[in-house]
Structure 1
């Protein structure tokens, strides 16, 4: 990954100005990569990040960019409000008399002062760039540590569970970052360990400790409580069953009730209902790490009679299947809410001189600030057929074309080319069906003004350069094909 670079050791750069410039660029690179990687696959981000850095190699270049250019560069990554916040944050950081373009080094200041930077991103920048011992906990790390700690809880919305894992991650990165001094003392001077540690945990969660884990290849099974529980389940001796009973009987203010008969199939997510965080109801006092401290098992444990691999070395396939099945149960799987289905009428209005009408979406909400062909969302209960959709689209376009000077209305002749087809598009929480229509109007057509939703005409050859969402670009391709065929 191009944003993975060697840590900038301040001790190796003697010139303060050069060090500041180097850290400024490095912090900017990591910040952009971390925001892009949210909800997006690494393979996709690599190309976007490369193009972004070629266009705006420094935070000062980004701060001077036009908002529409930033949105256009982000097109296809989704969650477009992220691009807007990045741009606003760049302008803030460059204009701030203290920062002057250099992002803060502490996670606390990053979280508090930089728009769009939350707890995880702040920790990532602080660790990777500045060598600070700060936790960086994304979804992968939450899953890894829930298994390491044996917490059967909701890592999506369970505040007590999430806070406990963050506390554990904080303790671990601080312990990992300690350096040995010449006289046996330890120090936590900035170094490359926090960044390497945090990235290693994320890498483990994305490659091995996945929702369907590959426990046989995991390098940290010796500290994994869930792995140990799986071994105990596989051994089935009286001693180990008693041990498991003792574990299950222990009071836990974080874990959900564990039904050992539910099995460990990949279908668990359809069997487990969304739970409220019972831990917060049972116990409001914050848990301490002592409740789920874990250490590497002593060597003698590896040869104890209760260990299923005591006589054969590596666990058998049957044993490993049980271990993996048990690990797969962690963390609690929550049923996702059903995706809301919506339909919208996308009206490509073509003037006789070849220009198309576009308008900008609101600056907040879905696809914030992007340009699109005039569109009208159908009501949730409306399920119009093709003929009714054309009537609704024509009425909508007629209302837009009722423009002109104040106090006067102008009637514009409108010709509907019919419904060209439909474009399905899936967002994280919405399944949208875009019904595409083509309308023709005269060259002198006037359009109603709307301060909240600016509108303008653009030449057909300039539409591709506009900051549009990927779904709307598919609609535009459908319009282009229809015009070429006519």
Structure 2
């Protein structure tokens, strides 16, 4: 007898297939060989067919056991997602919203309602068109329709510049707010309007231009990539159109940036999934999972995004014989719409009252169901085989952590109930759920089609913000460093060192610095001794080197590190001592600088320089 559990019936039988369409695996996106629908325009992707494959780790088997293997489970999950998001499936009766707190449902619950509702897709695009210029992003420009440009050479030139603009904007926007990026992007484009001019730039100038954006290795990779793209005889400065080719040939370009360039610039049906989009899709699909670390959840949301952008592209035309959809502005608008929605409306604490696609949002529907029903389905509702239950979602009871917002919601709902003759107080969200389950009379006044009042909307928002699962952040590591500014008396120049080309603040210049051991007692006297020992190895001779004092401490916070920099000033009497840097000085390039302000330094080190300047002027 098959084991079963009492679940709300939402199995795969809900969907019926109109045509057996084979869908691509989310772990193995299939991109067609790129092409521009104009004669005379080529790129590497025109001449080189590239076929992607999925590398699988094969682990040695020591003993056969009657248990499921990870590879088989992974393949099974990919197949299930492929079927779930396949074109040709219809949902005549969409599964009802999950009832809280158990949220029991099958995998088919997560088929995007947007996938089967063209009106919902149109609503999001219409909303995006109305707000696209609100934040004044200079890189947002009309799509270049190849059919509107008669000259192949002119079209190539236009696409080359447009792809470059989008590429730079997407890299800058990683981990950086739009308001900050706008000024950096404008200054970058004013200095290097084309990818060829960037390729010819001095590396120091590129790092200097990037100063303040952080993650400096991005600037180095951009510069290296520009030189590669311009030097490639088949590309000649034009970024590839195809996602796979972009990832393969352009250093620093991952699947998100590749999707953005392919969709926005070339009109390809490629998914664009950043952190904002993962949050939007988590709520739209009702996936209560970890979108940062759970590969199964991430793959599912990417697969959903891929299916959605193809549906959007198909809304204006069928695919050709090769499976390619006709290029248009729709994929780019769609991807940017999802990102804009996640950035401005569907934020960590969403503004559901202004969202254009609440009709297709699972999280919204669940919140509405919770707020508008006093009773829940009885225990005998229906039964679903345990094999059909969802494997993506975390337990709501374990992972939807109760906080102050929950307590406020419970108080308001309890107040409403008490005014109707119910209990005057509910101790917690869980006790409120329990109280709900005891009543079997639904609230007939509230319907899903009516506009929610303020209290109901607050309940919906509070429920939606639980998606995706909040991950407890790791404690930020703390570190102390000694920063030694050595000033040469004769010409007032300072000794600087270049950081390694990989790692934190890669390739930037700094005053020689030394990480204090965790066991240090961090007293001024101890730090002075550590600084004195450290500088002895920086110069070929320590003759005439004098410790002036500790100027102060500069705290600086990175995403993974809380750094305290103790700044020490030394002076070198260069009479009889040239101050030649030691060849073995930490294996780094060292030199004297007479214009520290012009050097490519991180923002934290620049604050150290401010202390030094104030003490030496």
TM-score relative to the length of structure 1: 0.85
Alignment of 1:435-446 (within 5 A): 435-443=566-574, 444-446=578-580
Q: What does 1:354-369 align with in structure 2 at a 5 Å threshold?
A: 354-369=492-507
Q: Number of paired residues?
A: 437
Separation (CA, whole Å) in 2 of partners of 1:252 and 1:11: 46
The residue correspondences of 1:344-383 to structure 2 (distance < 5 A) are 344-352=481-489, 353-383=491-521
1:392 aligns with 2:530: yes
Which structure would you say has the larger RCO, counting Cα contacts within 8 Å and 6 or more residues apart?
2
Q: CA deviation at 1:130?
A: 0.4
Residue equivalent to 2:598 = 465
Deviation at 1:317, TM superposition (A): 1.7
One of 259, 284, 298 as aligned partner of 2:397 = 259
Helix, strand or coil at the partner of 1:232: helix
Q: Give the Cα–Cα distance (whole angstroms) in 2 for the partners of residues 9 and 137 of structure 1.
A: 24
**1:117 correspondence with 2:281:** no
Alpha-carbon distance between aligned partners in 2 of 1:264 and 1:214, rounded to the nearest angstrom:
20
Q: Does 1:66 align with 2:66?
A: no
Give the secondary-structure state (helix, strand or coil) at the position aligned to 2:396. Answer: coil
CA contact (8 A) 1:72 1:467 kept: yes
Note if contact 1:308-1:315 (Cα within 8 Å) is conserved in structure 2: no
Tell me how far apart the structure 1 counterparts of residues 312 and 331 of structure 2 sit (CA, whole Å).
Answer: 7
Report the more deviating stretch, 136-145 or 379-388: 379-388
> What CA distance in whole angstroms lies between the structure 2 residues aligned with 1:342 and 1:469?
17
Deviation track 1:345-372 (CA, whole Å, cap 9, x = no partner) reads: 1111000121110010011111010000
Alignment pair present for 1:2 and 2:138 = yes
Correspondence list, 1:9-408, <5 A: 9-180=145-316, 188-238=325-375, 251-259=389-397, 265=403, 309-310=446-447, 313-352=450-489, 353-401=491-539, 403=540
1:475 matched to which residue of 2?
A: 608
Q: Are 1:179 and 1:189, in contact at CA under 8 Å, matched by a contact in 2?
A: no
After superposition, the C-alpha distances for 1:173-205 in whole angstroms (9 at most, x for unaligned) are: 1111125469xx998211000011110110110
CA distance 1:92–1:308, shift in 2 (3 Å): farther
Q: CA deviation at 1:383?
A: 3.1
CA deviations over 1:12-33 (Å, ceiling 9, x no partner)? 1111111101000000000000
- The 1:100/1:312 distance shift into structure 2, 3 A limit, reads closer
Q: What is the CA distance between 1:153 and its match in structure 2? A: 0.5
Deviation at 1:447, TM superposition (A): 2.2
Q: 1:169 to 1:312 in 2, by over 3 A?
A: closer
Within 2, Cα distance between the matches of 1:351 and 1:246? 82
Residue aligning to 2:103: none
Q: Decide whether aligned partners of structure 1 residues 8 and 261 sit closer, same or farther in structure 2, where only a CA change above 3 A counts.
A: closer
Deviations 1:79-109 (A, max 9, x none): 1111111111101100111111000001111
What are the superposed Cα offsets for residues 209-229 of structure 1, whole Å, 9 maximum, x if unpaired?
Answer: 111111111111100111111
CA, structure 1 residues 171+469, in 2 after alignment: closer, same or farther (shift >3 Å)? same
Residues 346 and 435, structure 1, Cα contact 8 Å, conserved in 2: yes
* Distance in 1, Cα, partners of 2:545 & 2:149: 68
Q: Distance in 2 between matches of 1:65 and 1:87?
A: 8
Q: How far 1:308 moved relative to its partner?
A: 6.1
SS in 1 for 2:212: coil
Whole-angstrom CA distance in 1 between matches of 2:469 and 2:449: 32
Equivalent pair of 2:192/2:198 in contact (CA under 8 Å): yes
Structure 2 runs not aligned, ≥5 long: 1-136, 407-441
Distance in 2 between residues matched to 1:216 and 1:248, nearest whole Å: 37
Matches within 5 A, 1:396-435: 396-401=534-539, 403=540, 410-435=541-566
Q: Is the 8 A contact 2:280 2:342 kept in 1?
A: yes
Contact 2:199 2:226 survives alignment (8 Å): yes
Q: Quick check: 2:317–2:326 contact (8 Å CA) kept in 1?
A: no
Partners of 2:385 and 2:214 in 1: CA distance: 43
Question: Any stretches of 5+ residues in structure 1 without a counterpart?
Answer: 269-304, 404-409
* Contact 2:317–2:325 (CA under 8 A) maintained in structure 1: no
What is the RMSD computed on CA atoms of the aligned residues?
Answer: 2.5
